[in-house]
Amino acid sequence: NYTTDTKSREENKKTLENLYSLSVDITKIRRLKEWVLLQDVAYVKEIAAILQDMGADETTVASIIERCPEAILHTPAKINSQRALWQLVCQNEKQLIKLIEQFPESFFITEYQQNQKANILFFQELGLKNNIITRFLTSAPNIFYNPAERNKNVIETLQRNYLNLGGSEANMKIWILKLLSQNPFILLNTSTAIQENLEFLQKNYFTDQEVLQLLSKLKGFIFQLNSTTMHKSMLFSKNIFKCSDQELKQLVLKCPALLYYSVTVLEERLEGLLKEGISIAQIRETPMVLELTTQIVQYRIKKLSALGYDIKSGNLESLNGTKKDFEVAYGKIQSKKERPIFNPVAPLHIED
């Protein structure tokens, strides 16, 4: 742990000199993490040498240190261990230095090296490809802080439940790997929380097959919820759409967002749609529109209106989906509008 008491201490002159020699913008460090410059010991030259040895040029080294100044407080031994660790999943040092440049803060976390190594080996054993594991290391580094045993327990709970819900042994591995790839943060949940959420769905009359379907649609987000928030969201939807338990279940299967978004989010999105003149009946017909933010909905309605498409009288399917889905739907409406009407009985003008 490093001290953050900046009042009574002076900046380390040797650290400053070494940083200047590497063309590091010290004002950026002062603005971001000035406390780094106050430490008695720093390994500026040594860390720079390790990065250069991996293929980083002077500009890259300076950029890495400016964005993650605490890198210079780690011992060379620790950084070399981290380097060896990440090389277990990197194709070569060129890829490694590129990752460090993009995600320096993820790389310079060296407190959990034993857990990191055990988890990397566990993920490889599980069948995850190295490029997925590197994505985890950079964008979800905290899943590596847990002991591998704990992550193993979560995976075993998922596997057990998948089979209990009627999933086949043959598909289980693909399902687990897909779930993890889509949402590695499921590993931050406890086995108990996972069990409770699945039981909540079963108590709310979802069949085993439907629960499996929801798990795939939710990409693991269900495991980051709790029964209280799910209950509140479902109750809100039931009141808004004035539907029976069975009808509500069908709506949730069509649009899992009704389950995992909080009441506040659902209220805000619903209000945004109503302001655009869209009716509750239309939303009930196409609930997936609630997966979109109000800003996205407004932008899409504006684009469609410019083509003369009246969203209030039509269905909401054209608003739905990813950006790519919308562009395809928009393109079809546009080409339909621009296409000249062919009159089969009109005379053909042919020059002699």
Structure tokens at 89: 């999943």
Query: Average pLDDT, stretch 85-114?
Result: 94
Mean pLDDT of the chain: 88
Given a cut of 90, is residue 40 above it in pLDDT? Answer: yes
CA dihedral (121, 125, 126, 129) positive or negative: positive
Copy the structure tokens of residue 291.
């997966």
Residue 80 in contact with residue 70, Cβ under 8 Å?
A: no
For the cut 80, the answer to whether the pLDDT of residue 19 exceeds it is yes
Given this model, what pLDDT does residue 232 score?
Answer: 93
- Decide if pLDDT at 7 tops 80: no
Closest CA to 328 of 317, 314, 313: 317
**Helix, strand, coil % over all residues of the chain, rounded to 5:** 70, 0, 30
Would you mind telling me the total number of residues written for the chain in this entry? 352
Instruction: Encode burial over 285-296: b for 16+ CB neighbours within 10 A, e otherwise.
Output: ebbbbbbbeeeb
pLDDT confidence tier of residue 87, bands split at 50, 70 and 90: very high
Residue 75 contacts residue 42 (beta carbons within 8 Å):
no
Rounded to whole angstroms, the Cα distance separating 240 from 306 reads 31
Q: Within a 10 A sphere around the Cβ of 168, how many other Cβ atoms? A: 9
Distances (CA, A) of 21 to 18, 45, 81, 129: 5, 9, 26, 40
In the predicted structure, residue 27 carries a pLDDT above the cut 60: yes
pLDDT computed for residue 46 by the predictor? 97
pLDDT category at 326 given cuts 50, 70, 90 is confident
CA angle 127, 131, 132 (to 5 degrees): 60
Q: What is the DSSP letter of 2?
A: -
Task: Give the integer Cα–Cα distance in Å for 9 and 130.
Answer: 44
Confidence of residue 36 (pLDDT cuts 50, 70, 90): very high
Amino acid residing at 281: A
- Quote the pLDDT of residue 309: 82
Quote the radius of gyration of the chain (alpha carbons, Å): 27
pLDDT at 6 over 60: no
Q: pLDDT band for 106, please (50, 70, 90 cuts).
A: very high
| Most distant CA atoms of the chain, gap in Å | 98
Distance (Å, whole) CA 284 – CA 279: 9
Structural tokens at position 47: 């860390």
Q: Which residues contact 69 (CB under 8 A, 6 or more apart)?
A: 29, 32, 33, 36, 37
Q: State how far the Cα of 230 lies from the Cα of 201, in Å rounded to an integer.
A: 9
Q: Kindly report, residue by residue over 225-234, the tens digit of the pLDDT.
A: 888 999 999 9
Which pair of tokens denotes residue 180?
């993890």
Q: Residues 230-248: pLDDT tens digits?
A: 999 999 999 999 999 999 9
Query: For residue 105, is pLDDT > 80?
Result: yes
Q: How confident is the model at residue 310 (pLDDT cuts 50, 70, 90)?
A: confident
pLDDT surpassing 50 at residue 350: no
CA dihedral 341, 342, 345, 350 (to 10 degrees): 120
72 vs 189, which has greater pLDDT? Answer: 72
